[in-house]
């Protein structure tokens, strides 16, 4: 079992342990993970927000159910010339607009019906195509979460690999990897993101034997994960480097353990808690970054909805139909807030005195 790298802590269990030692059965040792879990469980605040996040994920995953049973329409179906009965009153989904009876009239999509139309257009229609905004919000959430979580998985995976390689082998490997991080750091994140996103949005990625179509969700996923690798990789590398100096690692190497074994059995477990915390916080960051890229047209491509594209589409109607931009924004805030609060709680639980710094 890997030895914990931090000092022996004075926990509340200590008096119980010594008391039990005196006149009790043998004490069961608890792994640090179990202890962390117990601390986390007591943090009702963090747990509440974890549940909120999971609720959001489930709601978005159930988007097809909502679409077919509540809203009776898909995310891309246009309803431009249709009318719905809202509380008995027939209303145009998209009003005609133009010069009507000599007066200039705007063409407006229907506002939120709040279930007054039997589940259709609960948040209104997005103009001018007359698509159901609530359905798009859920499908958009699906895409945003897929890209957010997927890119975090890739990002953390590659960062860990690079951090382990750099920290273990040091020397030239470390030099090359650090230079790579330096160059990536020199780009403002959003700039590199939109540069890659825009460039890849034309024909997709058709190199090195891999072929990814331009409209695929893989493109923003790869772009975002790539762009954030140095921000996770560099702190992790720092941790691995300091771990490398510890005696237990030296001991393992002296015993003849292969590099792979050292990296996986000695180093990796000791950065695991940092990785976990990073992962949570990076998901939060990536969801916002995806929204930003999609807003600028360099992320998820139309007609696929995502929270960022919904905000961008709603901008034209911000004065008359503010919900079109407000709803996806609030969705992002709630999701990211939940992840941030949970991530905070997770960090506190894993090591209340850990000096994990997320340098974003």
Partner 1 sequence: MMAFFVRRTIGAILVCIAVTFIVFIIFIVVPGGGRLGTAERIAGKNATTQNIINIEHEWGFDRPIYVQYWRMMKRMFNGTLVSYTSQQNVVTQIEEGIPATFSLAIGAGVIWLFFGILVGVFSAIKAGKLSDRVITVLALIGISMPVFWLGIVARYYLAEGGLTSIFPDGEYVPLTDNPLQWFWHLVLPWTVLAVLFIGFYGRVLRGNILDTKHEDYVRTAKSKGLSSRRIMRKHVLRTSLIPIVTLFGLDFAAVLGGGAILTETVFDLHGVGQYAAQSIGNFDLPPIMGVTMYGAFFIVWFSVLVDLFYAYLDPRIRPT
Partner 2 sequence: MNRKNGWKLPLAAVALAVGLALIASACGGGGKKAATTTASTTTSSAGASKSFADFRIAYDTGIDFLDPGLSYTVQGWAIMWNVYLPLLGYKHVNGPDGATLVPYLAQSMPTVTSDGKTYTLTLRKGVKYSNGQPVKASDFKATIERDYKIDSPGVGFFGGIVGASDFAKTQKGNISGIVTNDSTGQITIHLTSPQGDFENILAMEFAAPLPASTPAKDQSTTPAPSTGPYMIQSYSPNKQAIVVRNPYFDASMYGGNVPAGNPDKMTIDIFGDASVALTRTLNGQEDYDFYQPPNDRLGELESKYANQIKLYTPANTFYFFMNTREPPFNNVKVRQAVNYAINRKALVRIYGGLATPTENVLPPTYPSYAKITMYPYNLAKAKQLVAASGTKGATVTIWGSNNESRRSPEATAYLQQVLKSLGYNAQLKIINAAVYWTTIGNQSTKAQIGFADWFQDYPHPLDWFDVLLNGERITQTHNNNYANFNDAAINSKIDTLKKEPELTNSVNNQWAQLDTEVMKQAPWAPYINQQGIDTFNSDIDLSCYVFNVNYQFDFSTICKK
* Interacting residues toward partner 1 by CB under 8 A: 45, 179, 182-183, 185-191, 194-196, 198-200, 202-203, 207, 284, 288, 291-292, 295-298, 308, 311, 315, 318-319, 322, 325-326, 329, 332-333, 336-337, 340-341, 344, 353, 355, 357, 359-360
**Nearest distance from C-beta of residue 129 to partner 2, angstroms:** 5
Nearer to partner 2, 79 or 347 (CB): 79
Decide: 155 and 228 in contact? Cβ < 8 Å. yes
Decide: 298 and 214 in contact? Cβ < 8 Å. no
194 interacts with, out of partner 2, partner 1, none, CB within 5 to 8 A per kind: partner 1
345 interacts with, out of partner 1, partner 2, none, CB within 5 to 8 A per kind: none
Nearer to partner 2, 79 or 142 (CB): 79
Identify the CA nearest to 344 among candidates 285, 278, 268. 278
Residue 156 buriedness (CB in 10 A; 0-12 / 13-18 / 19+): buried
Nearer to partner 1, 304 or 325 (CB): 325
96 interacts with, out of partner 2, partner 1, none, CB within 5 to 8 A per kind: partner 2
Distance CA 141, CA 65 (A): 14
H helices, E strands: number in the chain? 13, 6
185 interacts with, out of partner 2, partner 1, none, CB within 5 to 8 A per kind: partner 1
Nearer to partner 2, 43 or 294 (CB): 294
317 interacts with, out of partner 1, partner 2, none, CB within 5 to 8 A per kind: partner 2
296 interacts with, out of partner 2, partner 1, none, CB within 5 to 8 A per kind: partner 1
Distances (CA, A) of 284 to 32, 259, 275: 26, 33, 14
Whether the bond between 167 and the residue before it is cis, its omega within 30 degrees of 0, is no
Q: Which residues on neighbouring strands pair with residue 94, listed in sequence order?
A: 109
Nearer to partner 1, 27 or 199 (CB): 199
**CB crowding 75-95: b at 16 or more within 10 Å, else e:** beeebeeeebebeeeebbbbb
Q: Where are the alpha helices (DSSP H) in 91-205?
A: 133-169, 171-185, 189-203
Identify the CA nearest to 147 among candidates 347, 335, 337, 325. 335
Residue 126, SS3? Answer: strand
Nearer to partner 2, 96 or 259 (CB): 96
For partner 2, the binding residues (CB under 8 A) are 76-78, 80-81, 94-100, 103-108, 127-129, 198, 201-202, 214-215, 297, 301-303, 316-321
**Nearest distance from C-beta of residue 25 to partner 1, angstroms:** 34
24 interacts with, out of partner 1, partner 2, none, CB within 5 to 8 A per kind: none
Nearer to partner 1, 191 or 210 (CB): 191
2 interacts with, out of partner 2, partner 1, none, CB within 5 to 8 A per kind: none
**Nearest distance from C-beta of residue 21 to partner 1, angstroms:** 28
Nearer to partner 2, 197 or 230 (CB): 197
Decide: 194 and 298 in contact? Cβ < 8 Å. yes
- Span between the terminal Cα atoms of the chain, in Å: 33
Decide: 205 and 193 in contact? Cβ < 8 Å. no
């Amino acid at each position: 079992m890997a030895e914990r790298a931090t000092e022996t802590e004075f926990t509340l269990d200590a008096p119980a342990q010594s008391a039990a030692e005196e006149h009790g059965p043998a004490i069961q040792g608890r792994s640090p993970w179990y202890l962390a879990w117990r601390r986390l469980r007591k943090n009702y605040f963090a747990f509440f927000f974890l549940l909120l996040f999971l609720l959001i994920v489930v709601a978005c995953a159930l988007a097809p159910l909502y679409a077919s049973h509540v809203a009776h329409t898909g995310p891309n179906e246009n309803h431009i010339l249709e009318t719905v009965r809202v509380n008995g009153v027939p209303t145009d989904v998209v009003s005609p607009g133009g010069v009507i009876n000599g007066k200039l009239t705007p063409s407006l999509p229907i506002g939120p019906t709040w279930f007054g139309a039997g589940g259709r257009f609960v948040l209104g229609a997005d103009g001018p195509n007359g698509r159901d905004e609530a359905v798009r919000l859920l499908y958009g959430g699906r895409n945003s979460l897929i890209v957010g979580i997927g890119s975090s998985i890739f990002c953390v995976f590659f960062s860990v690999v690079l951090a382990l390689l750099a920290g273990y082998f040091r020397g030239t490997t470390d030099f090359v990897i650090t230079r790579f991080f330096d160059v990536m750091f020199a780009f403002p994140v959003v700039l590199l993101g939109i540069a890659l996103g825009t460039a890849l949005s034309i024909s997709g990625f058709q190199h090195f034997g891999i072929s990814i179509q331009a409209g695929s969700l893989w493109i923003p996923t790869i772009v975002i994960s790539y762009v954030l690798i140095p921000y996770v990789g560099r702190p992790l590398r720092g941790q691995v480097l300091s771990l490398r100096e510890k005696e237990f690692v030296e001991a393992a190497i002296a015993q003849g353990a292969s590099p792979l074994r050292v990296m996986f059995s000695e180093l990796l477990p000791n950065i695991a808690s940092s990785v976990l915390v990073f992962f949570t916080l990076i998901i939060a960051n990536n969801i916002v970054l995806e929204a930003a890229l999609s807003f600028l047209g360099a992320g998820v491509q139309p007609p696929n909805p995502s929270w960022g594209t919904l905000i961008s589409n709603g901008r034209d109607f911000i004065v008359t139909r503010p919900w079109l931009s407000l709803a996806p924004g609030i969705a992002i805030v709630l999701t990211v807030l939940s992840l941030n609060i949970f991530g905070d709680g997770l960090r506190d639980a894993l090591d209340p005195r850990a000096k994990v710094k997320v340098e974003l």
